[in-house]
Amino acid sequence: MKDPNSLPQDPMLAELVKMSRRKTLTRRTALAGAAGVGAAFGLAACAPAGDGGGATSEALVPATDVSDSEKVLVWYNWPGYMDLSEDELSRPTLDRFQEQSGITVEYLEEYNDNDEWYGINRNELIAGKDVGADLLCPTDWLAARLVNDGQVQKLDSANIPNKANVAPAYLGAAYDPNRDFTLPYQGILGGIAYNKELYKELTGKDAPESVEDLWQAELNGRIVLISEMRDSIGVIAQSKGIDITSASSFTEDAFNGVIDDIAALYADGKIKAFAGNEYMDGFANDEYVAGIVWSGDVVQMNFGAGYDKFGFFIPETGGTISSDMFTVPMGATHKKNAELLMNYYYDPINAAELAAWVNYITPVVGAYEEAIKLDPELAENKLIFPDEAFLASTHGFRALSAQEEQSFVTAWGRVQLGA
């Protein structure tokens, strides 16, 4: 068996291993929640024709902001998306914000899957009612829906002077070109993770090299696909030569062709499950040998294992790239407090410290220079600070029309239900 303390020769994997050994990292908190298949399928089925699944018929009025009198904030985020202390009893950057601002933050890991979360909160969002949080972090495609449907508040840039540090690559989005309603929290890479020991034991090879390698007979029933449609479909579609950024290449017929292929793989028992963030548990207990996942999770899985048990790579045919976004729902009553927190995390020093733990792409200009001071090796991690050559192998899932969104989500939900 390979020495668990040795570094892989592949530069990207070596970076992942180094990051997983960093003493400042801690394993993620326990993940909870069921996969969002039912919610995703139900959402698409009940979406009104002609909208993005939750269009608001009348303009909503933002809730009254009571931030000046109530120094509190409720923040919904994804599991493992915040730095923790060695003993996992505190969150250093978040604790420092509370001390400096006097604002008490209730930080809740409420996301497991975007469609699942939206399906649960859809009615409140449409009505402009309180969803229980002042600050949300949905993935960009869902953030776009919330913006287009008028369900989030316009941000006051005067409270976010560090907004000037947003990386130029994150400006110009069709749904929010000047980031008036959203600010990137972290960038996300979708690729392939694998258990090094089990993969070699079962296949006799050191590592998979392509998407096709996931479908080997020796791996039947040991493959997981993340339930986030845009990542799983995106990676597999690119392996078939489809340009997922282009409407002329990635047509509805092309999408349905990929869906049919995945359905066949699931029916044949090659794919064991479609999972939200809880797929980390499946890797940890050796239920899964490989699968399509998010890059930052692999570092956390390695830290939990205590050595570089898991590898990660972007297939030559292409991985996916997206972002999770700060945004304030219409029913939030502590908007200014949320803006002050956004401003805090757009300070390059705080952004670099956060990136050192979560291991996703930081969208903050100046964070790279601060990371060099914090840890030179960290600053060279392409998964956090990718260069143009690295990003050339990653692509964003193209924007969907309202009709396509409904159709695609319905088809994806049916596959996960085995229908």
- Per-residue pLDDT at 55: 62
> Which of these, 94, 160, 95, 107, lies nearest to 136 by C-alpha position?
107
- In terms of phi and psi (left: phi > 0; alpha: psi -120 to 50; beta: otherwise), the region of 400 is beta
**Cα 219 from Cα 197, distance rounded (Å):** 13
- Per-residue pLDDT at 58: 76
Please name the helix (run of DSSP H) or strand (run of DSSP E) that holds residue 312, with its range, or none: strand 310-313
Question: Is there a contact between 79 and 299 (Cβ–Cβ < 8 Å)?
Answer: no
Burial of 30 (0-12, 13-18, 19+ CB in 10 A): exposed
**Cα 329 from Cα 11, distance rounded (Å):** 41
Instruction: Say which DSSP state 399 is in.
Output: P
**Cα 308 from Cα 302, distance rounded (Å):** 5
Q: What is the pLDDT of residues 276-320, one digit of tens each?
A: 888 999 999 999 999 999 988 887 788 788 889 999 999 999 999
Q: What is the pLDDT of residues 225-240, one digit of tens each?
A: 999 999 999 999 999 9
> Which of these, 156, 184, 154, lies nearest to 171 by C-alpha position?
184
Q: Which has more confidence, 386 or 82?
A: 82
- Per-residue pLDDT at 282: 96
Query: What beta strand segments (E) does 196-295 contain?
Result: 223-226, 271-275, 290-294
* 352's tokens: 């670099």
pTM of the model: 0.79
Q: How confident is the model over 124-142, as a mean pLDDT?
A: 97
Instruction: Read off the pLDDT band of 26 (50, 70, 90).
Output: very low
**Residue written as tokens 């998964």?**
383
**Cα 18 from Cα 309, distance rounded (Å):** 12
pLDDT at 103 over 70: yes
Question: Is there a contact between 202 and 195 (Cβ–Cβ < 8 Å)?
Answer: no
Mean pLDDT of the chain: 86
Q: Which amino acid is at 29?
A: T
Q: What is the pLDDT of residues 368-404, one digit of tens each?
A: 999 999 889 888 888 888 888 888 899 999 988 889 9
Backbone angles phi, psi at 309, to 5 degrees: -70, -30
**Cα 342 from Cα 331, distance rounded (Å):** 18
Domains and CATH numbers, the chain: 11-28+188-321+403-417 (3.40.190.10), 37-185+324-370 (3.40.190.10)
**Cα 95 from Cα 92, distance rounded (Å):** 5
- Per-residue pLDDT at 263: 97
